[in-house]
Amino acid sequence: MSWQVALIGYGEVGRILAEDLRRQGIAVSAYDLKLDTDHGQPIREHAAAHDVVLATTHALAVHGVDLVVSAVTASQAVAVAEAAAPGLKKGAFFLDFNSASPGAKVRAAAIVNAAGGRYVEGAVMTSVPPYRIKVPLLLGGPDAAALEPKLNEIGFAAKVASAKLGVASATKMCRSVMIKGLEAMVIEAFTTARHYGVEDAVIASLYETFPGIDWEKHGAYLFQRVIEHGRRRSEEVREVAVTVQEAGLVPFSASGTAERQAWVADLADAGLFGARGTKEFARSADWRTEADRILAHLKQQQKNDGEDRPR
């Protein structure tokens, strides 16, 4: 298929898609907000290595292309639709990969469709890196059925969830209450258990209750994912909370999960788990190493707070 594809957002997901699309000879353009900052050099280097054309604005990146894939942070989903809309050619598909609430997807669709594009919501149903372009993807909206075979022809693993906007996103968001919540609970429970010296007993009990999960291995994996991607996850779970609110519930669990994910992200940004961008960052095979770092940080913080109190 002689398509041209634009990627809005050139982070982990955008780069993986760029690599897999370029291997097929598909022309790819891209834009990322980081290009306008000091952090844009890795994007430029990756794009040059894979012959991806970088644009200076959203609208220029999408100009004349057949498919736009928006893969940014959840909070920017509607803003990207607004910024890209002026550059869309009539009939171009706009695939929204972002983990936004159904309400946000509906707002973005209205913007894209008013500009002559064909908005399709996409719900990525698991972590992208192991699957790459073939990550399970649910599609939604009136144009989902038209886009599905075209996506699958170029390597995606897409399936229509519904012709109604919001269904695919609701599926993803409800799943995230559980998945991202489990990540936050493991960070909190395992670190607390480590403080009290009861981690072995806790994990043994979890094995007994959920024998299908290797809690030692999975615990290390979840720690690593939150440390590495907690900022993006916290933004996603804030959208999850909005989804829960749109259903009429108070998002107690989602809100707490977002706070815990953001808290770990703050520690990671401060260098507690090593320097970002290095091979050692968040790569401990034992979750205890990361829990001990957190506990040592909290102990030092408590000591500092005590020293700061007036005597």
For the chain, residues classed under CATH 1.10.1040.10 are 169-308
Give the CA distances from residue 291 to residues 92, 103, 277, in Å, rounded to whole numbers and listed in that order: 48, 37, 21
Three-state SS at 67: strand
- Fold observed for domain 4-163: Rossmann fold (3.40.50)
Strands 118-124 and 93-96, bridge-based pairing? parallel
Task: Please check the confidence at residue 145 and state whether its pLDDT lies above 90.
Answer: yes
Residue recorded with tokens 């401990």: 284
Q: What is the pLDDT of residues 179-205, one digit of tens each?
A: 999 999 999 999 999 999 999 999 999
Non-local (6+) Cβ contacts of 85 within 8 A are: 59, 111, 112, 114, 115, 117
Strands 136-140 and 118-124, bridge-based pairing? antiparallel
Q: CA–CA separation, 120 vs 106, rounded Å?
A: 10
Residue 91 phi/psi, 5-degree rounding, is 90, -5
Q: CA–CA separation, 293 vs 267, rounded Å?
A: 10
For the chain, residues classed under CATH 3.40.50.720 are 4-163
Burial class (CB in 10 A: 0-12, 13-18, 19+), 62: buried
Report whether 119 contacts 100 (CB < 8 A).
no
Task: Please check the confidence at residue 206 and state whether its pLDDT lies above 80.
Answer: yes
pLDDT given for residue 67 in this prediction = 98
pLDDT given for residue 309 in this prediction = 58
- Percent of the chain past pLDDT 90, that is, above it, reads 84
Q: CA–CA separation, 69 vs 243, rounded Å?
A: 22
Q: What CATH number does the domain located at 169-308 have? A: 1.10.1040.10
Q: What is the mean pLDDT of residues 59-63?
A: 97
Chain centroid to CA 249: 24
Element (H, E) at 121: strand 118-124
Q: What is the pLDDT of residues 96-106, one digit of tens each?
A: 999 899 999 99
Report whether 86 contacts 111 (CB < 8 A).
no
If one counts every other C-beta atom within 10 angstroms of the C-beta of residue 60, the result is 17
Q: CA–CA separation, 139 vs 124, rounded Å?
A: 9
Residue recorded with tokens 């919540």: 181
Token output for 40: 């844009």
